Amino acid sequence: MIELGHLAAFLALAASLAQGIFGLTGARALSGRAAHVAFGVMLLSFLTLVVAFAESDFSLALAANNSHTLKPMIYKIAGAWGNHEGSMALWCLVTLGYGAAGALWMRTGRDLFEARALGVQGLLASGALAYLLFASSPYLRLDPAPLQGAGLNPILQDPALAFHPPMLYLGYVGYSFVFALAAAGLMDGRIDRVWAKEARRWALAAFIPLTLGIALGSYWAYYELGWGGWWFWDPVENASLMPWLIGAALMHSVVVTEKRGSFAAWTALLAVLAFLFSVMGAFLVRSGILTSVHAFAVDPKRGMLLLAGLLVYGGFALGLFALRAPKLDGGKPWEMFSREGALVANNVVLVVAALTVLLGTLFPLIAEAAGRTISVGEPYFRLTFVPMLALLLLILPVVQVWSWGKADLSGLWKWAAGGVGLVAVFLLLGVGLWDIPLGAAFGLALGVWLVFGAVWELKRRAVTPGRVFRLPLRVWGMTLAHMGLGVFIIGAVVETTQRYEATLALPVGGTGTVAGWTITLKEVYAIEGPNWYADRAELTARKDGAMAELAPTKRYYPAARMPTTETAIHKTGMGDLYIALGDRRDVGGEDRWVLRVYLNPLIDLVYLGVLLMGLGALFSLWPRRRRTADAS
């Protein structure tokens, strides 16, 4: 079966090359058929890897190095992509999947443009498949096969991490097709409304899973790693955040191109950059140059091949852009105080924010190459990234009501007065009633400001309450996305500024108090799972008549010789009581167990906000039934 999968991967390479050649020569139908063949045989190839993992076929080196007979089935299957070679096979599959979907669903009425887009996508897939087959093959065999495998990295044996990579890749690789559309449009010399309408669909199709994939990874880190937080500015976390920021800028810019025919060159450049940042993320994760719990530590030579691919893709696209962009139509005239001007500001801030994250991620590597050791962490991003986005979000509710071409500024003073008043109220509450930092008070005001602005825009467009539910889904999508952003900010500000943490060292039967919660360690006993054994603590937590039973666990995986933390979380309605079990210590001749206790207020708003943003993008992607149901 593995030989069949290996052969199918080579057939996928041949079919993707045919897709590229047919597409670039203008044969739309042949390129589309080749795209479907390439995806079909690559799907067969990938399934052979999944079956080998499911059956614990350790003659496959990949399974022997990343699986174990005692693992639950879901983690056996997830092991197929929980490593460098398998994840690159998944990357190739998704790339070909987008090509096949494009061949099926692109309907612009421009056969040459569509053929070229499929051709570029075929070449992108060919590059990825060549790297897979000749530099990172997942099909290598062992003879004799070992009786037992080494097992999957224990921290990856979690449901969220089983679905996180496929979701993330649907986003990362989705921008490859937007890249292909940009390249085809530049070849045609037409980045216009027809192009923008098509590009917008695929940009949203990539943005939605990327958003949900980042959220899944964040939530996994929150409950699995035991440190009590949801975002650490880890280099690999940043690698997924950067294309998300560029993708957000692209979604707003492509609207202007679709509506007004403006920003053609800039929108095409963003489409290129979104994919290049995704490829750069793959390079950072797989090159071995970053130290991260998420990174694949692989041979740096393979990392250099990924870097070479990034330079080739980037050189081609940016060279084509430099050649064709000056000839693109500039669209209708507009003034700075207009919706176009506001979206220019939006794009500039998001791109600068992405570059700021890039600098913070790469600067330690640059300093290390110069012989110095410098760490860049949360203080850098708090001082640079956060103020930029705060400025953007402050003006968002105001500018979303502006008209195309030139805005009516007569009501601007009302918005200014409302914003100042809201900030003043929260600052006064922060200084007095709540006793929170001034920055946190401002952040809360900003979150409420965004939610209010989204609701006000919905009311403005509906005119009368009865028309609210007859508004186009694109309007609802914009409203939910902006509202979700506000909810996210409220949750993030409260959780990061009001989080409380403490460490308890309790004997069995002992009691400690943390922020009003009385925590009693009832017992600690050993348990055993399919491929691990663990210490499990039984706790009770009481506060103001409320009681919760919690059972944090510390696991050990013999095959990997690695421990993991399984936290216990009690949701109070206003936040999480979060407890992680540490080591046993001898204190004065008495055995005590270390407990790390966190109170994370309003943490659920962080993930609710992200879900609302993803749902808003999904509503915006939903096809319109009538031409009159058009919104920005």
| pTM of the predicted structure, to 2 decimals | 0.92
Query: Quick one: pLDDT at residue 299?
Result: 61
Strand partners, 533: 528, 556
Whether residue 214 is found in the same domain as residue 296: yes
Which DSSP symbol is given to 141? Answer: B
How far is it, in rounded angstroms, from Cα 75 to Cα 87? 14
How far is it, in rounded angstroms, from Cα 163 to Cα 593? 33
Residues 6+ apart with CB under 8 A from 540: 519, 520, 522, 547, 548, 549, 550
Quote the tokens at residue 227.
């440190």
Q: How many domains does the chain have?
A: 4
Q: Are 184 and 117 in contact (CB under 8 A)?
A: yes
Whether residue 483 is found in the same domain as residue 445: yes
Question: Given 385, 401, 417, which residue is the final one in a domain?
Answer: 401
Which has the minimum average pLDDT: 22-31, 259-268, 349-358, 400-409?
A: 400-409
Domain residue limits at 205: 190-311+322-401
Query: Quick one: pLDDT at residue 160?
Result: 84
**CATH code for the domain of 97:** 1.20.120
Q: Is position 167 within any domain?
A: no
Question: Given 137, 157, 177, which residue is the final one in a domain?
Answer: 157
Helices (H), 432-542: 438-462, 473-498
* Buried b or exposed e, range 535-553, using 16+ CB within 10 angstroms: bbbbbebebeeeebebebb
Range 623-626, long-range pairs (CB < 8 A, 24+ positions): 624/472, 624/473, 624/474
Whether residue 509 is found in the same domain as residue 452: no
Whether residue 397 is found in the same domain as residue 254: yes
**CATH code for the domain of 517:** 2.60.98
Q: How far is CA 480 from CA 45, 451, 486, 492, 610, in A?
A: 40, 9, 10, 18, 10
H or E stretch covering 519: strand 517-528
pLDDT above 80 (res 101):
yes
Whether residue 147 is found in the same domain as residue 216: no
Question: Given 157, 174, 203, which residue is the final one in a domain?
Answer: 157
Q: Are 265 and 328 in contact (CB under 8 A)?
A: yes
Q: Is position 629 within any domain?
A: no
What are the pLDDT digits (tens) for 143-202?
999 988 887 778 778 888 888 889 999 999 999 999 999 999 999 999 999 999 999 999
How far is it, in rounded angstroms, from Cα 501 to Cα 600? 9
pLDDT above 50 (res 629):
no
**How many C-beta atoms lie closer than 10 Å to residue 416's C-beta?**
11
Helices (H), 463-599: 473-498
What are the pLDDT digits (tens) for 488-509?
999 999 999 999 999 999 999 9
Cis upstream peptide for 387 (omega within 30°): no
Whether residue 4 is found in the same domain as residue 94: yes
